Chains A and B, each alone.
Chain A
Amino acid sequence: MSQQILADRVGVTRQTIIAIEKDKYSPSLEVAFKIANIFKVPLGEVFNYG
């Protein structure tokens, strides 16, 4: 899945997806859950803290 497609489905810009990937932005819970739901995996598999 391309960054643009993921961004469109989540409702953010491609730059935000890039920033999340590079660990330059911590998304809101809403966006985090949307990303996890799109990939059909638990939240902890996409994001971790600490």
Chain B
Amino acid sequence: MNFSFREKGLIASLVITLLVFGNYFFQVFANLQVTPSEQNGFGDLIGLVILVVILEAIIHAFLASQHSTEIEDERDKLIQRMSYRNSYWFLIIGIWVLLIQFLATGSGVWFDFNYLAIFTSAYGLAYLLLLLFVLAEVINFITQLYYYRKGI
């Protein structure tokens, strides 16, 4: 399968995001079940973001050196706009769902997730919000790849 410059960059960003943040959230949520009132690596996040930026800079610089003539045209911009719209809606819906379940938890009205520590601690909620941001970015990458392959 032949990938364009943009697709290679998107695949690299997707793989980096999934590997780095996937591992991070797996560890964080596992620890949160044991000690829900502790930060469990909130401070590691800054280091992870710096790591992602460095990895992306290296890979994108390498890709740019291989495709020096590539420009960003109207199709690239349209695909970016459509993908950002998709990830925006995912983020908005996710935040509303989190907000509603947070208000409803304990009241016994809607979803009662009290048995899950991640829903009852403030840090748990903060991590879920962070997870939403990362998932929104993943959806942005995946939908861009989809539009590049299938057309718009």
Q: Which residues of A contact B (CB under 8 A)?
A: 11-13, 15-16, 19, 22-25, 27-28, 31
Contacts and interface: CB of A to CB of B under 8 A. Distances in A.
B151 A31 contact: no
A31 B35 CA distance: 58
B70 interface: yes
B152 A15 contact: no
21 contacts: A11-B73, A12-B73, A12-B75, A13-B4, A13-B71, A13-B75, A15-B4, A15-B75, A15-B148, A16-B73, A19-B75, A23-B151, A24-B150, A24-B151, A24-B152, A25-B75, A25-B151, A25-B152, A27-B74, A28-B74, A31-B74
Interface string B128-151: 000000000000000000001011
A15 B6 contact: yes
Residue in B4, B70, B73 with the greatest tally of chain A CB atoms within 10 Å: B73
Nearest to B75: A16
A23 B73 CA distance: 17
A22 B151 contact: yes
A4 B75 CA distance: 16
Interface in B75-114: 75-76
B29 to A, nearest CB: 39
A27 B75 CA distance: 8
A13 B73 contact: yes
Given A22-B151, A23-B151, A24-B151, 12 more contacts: A11-B71, A12-B73, A12-B75, A13-B71, A15-B4, A15-B6, A15-B75, A16-B73, A16-B74, A25-B151, A27-B74, A31-B74
